């Protein structure tokens, strides 16, 4: 099986072509062949570097270095020094001031390649998840012992703050700050909740962590409890994750037996209990206030905020709600220190991120990559390229509530900061990769059908908005759309984004906005010409009931 080790991209925008980038491309082909590197180095062109004085530029992944201006006679040196020997040719790098901001970002990135940098998945695949001895052998519960015996709760929170850890559920809120809010909130009892209601379609990073390394999450919950002075914790695992629930219950049982849960943990006078709560299949219960309502035994509907759960959460007490992946970062940070953790990722988003890859690529599954990796690397190096050599069209991030990333933005680093600048969001870390046989209108229709079905119905903008958006887009796919619909859709999307009570309605608007921003021509082709450019939409009215029954959605 062929695995690409690195990737060379030669710029081919009009300016670069004028300055002879085709010749550079040809030279690279020759040289890679003569150094016998053609098998492991992928060569491709990049059209969207933006205008730079340094063109033509050559980008080499995974180091993400940008050389320029490159002359055809420099190619030999780049191949022999960088690709063959692995040294970066410092004097040929583009000075940062010559680069457009998007590319400059790339150069400030730290850390480079695959599997060597596993922090969260370090034990995944190495230990038996149902055996606590395996976990203890692989540094298990060492962070807890360190926290309980050598650190005060305040110091634990400071260490987490210093590490710059951000919430991995999608919003990217600084974890250390959240912990200190809860620790300083007035109340007689405090709670830790681990949000494992991973209901975003296509996201399964939490399942991998819970099934392959449940003790790590348990350890992190105990540490969080110690830091915020809580005595009780809940983990809310979605109902479909039977195996996760089984393994987590077993972990709780073993932890009791070994004395990591219960009274006077490790002789430190700190008591902690963890309860497992199973979800029942509602998407909205992944929203933290709806999740709290659900644990309290009520209907899973989001609360009005403020007050936030940090002051008025479970049973009206200060509550810390963290995602599984966020918590999984905690033991390594405490064990190795914040400085160590900051070595990974980008300055604004340190650490690594677990991504789930799915769609039209050769390898699907879960990967761990440093923050700031680009979509191009994910597709070509980790996922081993597009299936059947098709062209990459768009990626959809973060389950259904993320945004659409068109091919022109595939060199944007994936961290919490830079996608936001480019107007896309990272979401929960699912990457649905679509090739050019995907119709974007059809994709958005499917997403909106999901939102319409999952809207809890508490607030009007979301309940009515998702329904109306779905109807309009469905009309477009059935040949009944009008150009005025598009403005209506944008208006509706904006209203949903501003007025909805919780994240569900707010993010339902994102795919619509992105579709009209990046793929407007394709949408207009449906309306103006009455055809679907990819041939996916049938352009005739369809009976929806049969489809719904087939998908078991009624």
Query: Least separation, in Å, of the C-beta of 230 and other proteins?
Result: 20
User: Which residue bears the tokens 């925008």?
Assistant: 13
DSSP 399-430: TTTS-EEEGGGTTSEESSSHHHHTT---TTSE
271 contacts other proteins (rule: CB under 8 A): no
Contact between 152 and other proteins (CB under 8 A)?
no
Look up tokens 């679509």; give the residue.
Answer: 434
Span from 129-137, 158-166, 442-450, 537-545 in contact with other proteins (CB under 8 A): 129-137
User: 3-state DSSP call for residue 445?
Assistant: helix
Report yes or no: 217 and 249 within 8 Å, Cβ to Cβ: no
- Number of chain residues interacting with other proteins (CB under 8 A): 42
What is the closest distance, in whole angstroms, from the C-beta atom of residue 287 to other proteins in the complex?
Answer: 24
Q: Which of the ranges 65-73, 204-212, 462-470, 492-500 carries the binding residues for other proteins, by CB under 8 A?
A: 204-212
Cis preceding linkage at 375, omega within 30:
no
262 near other proteins (CB under 8 A): yes
- Spatial neighbors of 74 by CB under 8 A, at least 6 apart, are 67, 92
Least Å distance, CB 149 to other proteins, is 5
Nearer to other proteins, 129 or 279 (CB): 129
Provide the strand spans (E) within 63-149.
65-67
Task: Kindly state whether residue 3 participates in binding other proteins, applying the rule CB under 8 A.
Answer: yes
Which 226-245 positions form the footprint of other proteins (CB under 8 A)? 241, 243-244
Residue 148 lies near other proteins (rule: CB under 8 A): yes
Binds other proteins (CB under 8 A): choice among 7, 266, 390, 499: 266
Residue closer to other proteins by CB (options 182, 209) is: 209
269 binds other proteins (CB under 8 A): no
* Interface segment toward other proteins; rule CB under 8 A; list 47-55, 71-79, 211-219, 228-236: 211-219
Residue 436 has a CB neighbour count (10 Å cut-off) of 15
Which residue in the set 39, 100, 137, 421 belongs to the binding site for other proteins (CB under 8 A)? 137
Question: Hey, how many other C-beta atoms are within 10 angstroms of the C-beta on 475?
Answer: 16
Choosing from 14, 95, 100, 259, the residue that interacts with other proteins (CB under 8 A) is: 259
Query: Which one, 200 or 211, has the nearer CB to other proteins?
Result: 211
Residue 363 binding other proteins, by CB under 8 A? yes
The answer to whether 128 contacts other proteins (rule: CB under 8 A) is yes
8 A C-beta contact, residue 301 and residue 294:
no
Query: Do 183 and 228 meet the contact criterion of CB atoms below 8 Å apart?
Result: yes
Judged by CB under 8 A, the residue of 100, 365, 488, 530 near other proteins is 365
The closest alpha carbon to 451, from 494, 406, 512, 536, belongs to 512
Task: Please select the residue that binds other proteins; options are 34, 44, 149, 231, rule is CB under 8 A.
Answer: 149
| First-to-last C-alpha distance (Å) of the chain | 44
- Among positive and negative, which fits the CA dihedral 299, 302, 304, 305? positive
Binding to other proteins by residue 364, rule CB under 8 A? yes
d(CA 346, CA 342): 8
Residue placing its CB nearer to other proteins in the complex, 103 or 210: 210
Please state whether 172 falls in left (phi above 0), alpha (psi between -120 and 50) or beta: left
Say what the alpha-carbon torsion angle 301, 228, 221, 113 is, to the nearest 10 degrees.
Answer: 100
What token pair was written down for 461?
């903008």
Query: Does position 129 bind other proteins by CB under 8 A?
Result: yes
Considering beta carbons, is residue 29 or 362 the nearer one to other proteins? Answer: 362
Phi then psi for residue 151, to 5 deg, are: -125, 150
Among 163, 180, 212, 472, binds other proteins (CB under 8 A): 212
Closest approach, Cβ 187 to other proteins, in A, equals: 29
Residues 65, 70, 121, 441: which binds other proteins (CB under 8 A)? 121
Using DSSP bridges, classify how beta strands 58-61 and 41-46 pair: parallel, antiparallel or unpaired: unpaired
Count CB-CB contacts under 10 A for residue 198.
27
Q: Is 281 in the site for other proteins (CB under 8 A)?
A: no
115 is a site residue for other proteins (CB under 8 A) = yes
Report if residue 362 touches other proteins, rule: CB under 8 A: yes
Q: How many CB atoms within 10 Å of residue 280?
A: 11
Q: Kindly tell me which of 390 and 464 has the beta carbon lying closer to other proteins.
A: 390
Pick from 25, 260, 272, 519 the residue near other proteins by CB under 8 A: 260
State which of residues 59, 60, 127, 459 lies at the interface with other proteins (CB under 8 A). 127
CA-to-CA dists, residue 89 to 60, 113, 154, 170, angstroms:
11, 19, 46, 37
- What H or E segment, with its residue span, contains residue 373? strand 373-374
Helix (H) or strand (E) holding 352: strand 352-359
Is the Cβ of residue 266 or residue 475 nearer to other proteins in the bound state?
A: 266
The residue assigned the tokens 């209601």 is 197
Q: Which residues bind other proteins (CB under 8 A)?
A: 1, 3, 115, 121, 124-130, 133, 136-137, 141-142, 145-146, 148-149, 207-208, 211-213, 241, 243-244, 256-260, 262, 264, 266-267, 362-366
């Amino acid at each position: 099986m062929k695995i690409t080790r690195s990737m060379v991209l030669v710029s081919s925008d009009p300016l670069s072509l004028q300055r002879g980038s085709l010749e550079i491309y040809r030279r690279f082909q020759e040289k890679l062949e003569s150094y016998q590197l053609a098998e492991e180095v992928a060569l491709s062109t990049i059209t969207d570097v933006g205008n730079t004085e340094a063109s033509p530029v050559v980008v080499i992944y995974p180091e993400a270095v940008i050389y320029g201006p490159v002359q055809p006679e420099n190619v030999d040196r780049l191949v022999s020094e960088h690709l063959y020997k692995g040294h970066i040719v410092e004097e040929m790098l583009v000075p940062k001031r010559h680069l457009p901001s998007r590319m400059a970002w790339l150069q400030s990135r730290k850390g480079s390649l695959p599997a060597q940098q596993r922090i969260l998945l370090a034990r995944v695949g190495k230990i038996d998840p149902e055996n606590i001895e395996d976990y203890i052998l692989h540094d298990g519960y060492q962070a807890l012992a360190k926290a309980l015996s050598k650190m005060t709760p305040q110091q634990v929170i400071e260490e987490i703050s210093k590490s710059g850890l951000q919430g991995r559920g999608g919003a990217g809120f600084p974890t250390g700050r959240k912990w200190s809010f809860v620790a300083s909130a007035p109340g007689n009892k405090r709670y830790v909740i681990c949000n494992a209601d991973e209901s975003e379609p296509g996201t399964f990073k939490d399942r991998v962590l819970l099934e392959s390394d449940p003790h790590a999450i348990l350890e992190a919950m105990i540490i969080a409890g110690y830091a915020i002075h809580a005595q009780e914790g809940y983990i809310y695992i979605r109902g479909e994750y039977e195996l996760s629930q089984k393994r987590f219950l077993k972990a709780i049982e073993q932890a009791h037996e070994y004395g990591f849960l219960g009274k006077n943990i490790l002789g430190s006078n700190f008591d902690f209990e963890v309860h497992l709560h199973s979800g029942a299949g509602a998407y909205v219960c992944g929203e933290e206030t709806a999740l709290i309502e659900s644990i309290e035994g009520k209907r899973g509907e989001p609360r009005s905020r403020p007050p936030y759960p940090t002051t008025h959460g479970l049973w009206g007490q200060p509550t810390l709600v963290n995602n599984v992946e966020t918590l999984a970062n905690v033991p390594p940070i405490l064990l190795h220190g914040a400085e160590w953790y900051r070595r990974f990722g980008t300055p604004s988003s340190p650490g690594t991120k677990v991504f789930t890859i799915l769609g039209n690529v050769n390898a699907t599954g879960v990967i761990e990559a440093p923050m700031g990796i680009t979509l191009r690397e994910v597709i070509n190096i980790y996922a081993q390229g597009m299936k059947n050599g098709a062209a990459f069209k768009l990626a959809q991030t973060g389950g259904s509530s993320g945004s659409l990333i068109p091919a022109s933005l595939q060199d944007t680093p994936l961290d919490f900061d830079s996608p936001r600048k480019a107007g896309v969001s990272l979401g929960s870390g699912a990457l649905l990769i679509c090739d050019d046989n995907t119709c974007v209108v059809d994709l958005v229709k499917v997403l909106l059908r999901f939102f319409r079905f999952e809207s809890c119905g508490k607030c009007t903008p979301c309940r009515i908005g998702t329904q109306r958006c779905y109807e309009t887009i469905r009309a477009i796919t059935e040949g009944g759309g009008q150009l005025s619909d598009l403005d209506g859709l944008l208006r509706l999307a904006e209203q949903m984004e501003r007025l909805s009570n919780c994240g569900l309605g707010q993010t339902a608007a994102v795919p619509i906005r992105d579709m009209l921003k990046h793929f407007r021509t394709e949408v207009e082709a449906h309306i103006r010409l009455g055809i679907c450019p990819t041939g996916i939409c049938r352009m005739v009215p369809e009976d929806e009931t049969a489809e719904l029954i087939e998908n078991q959605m009624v």
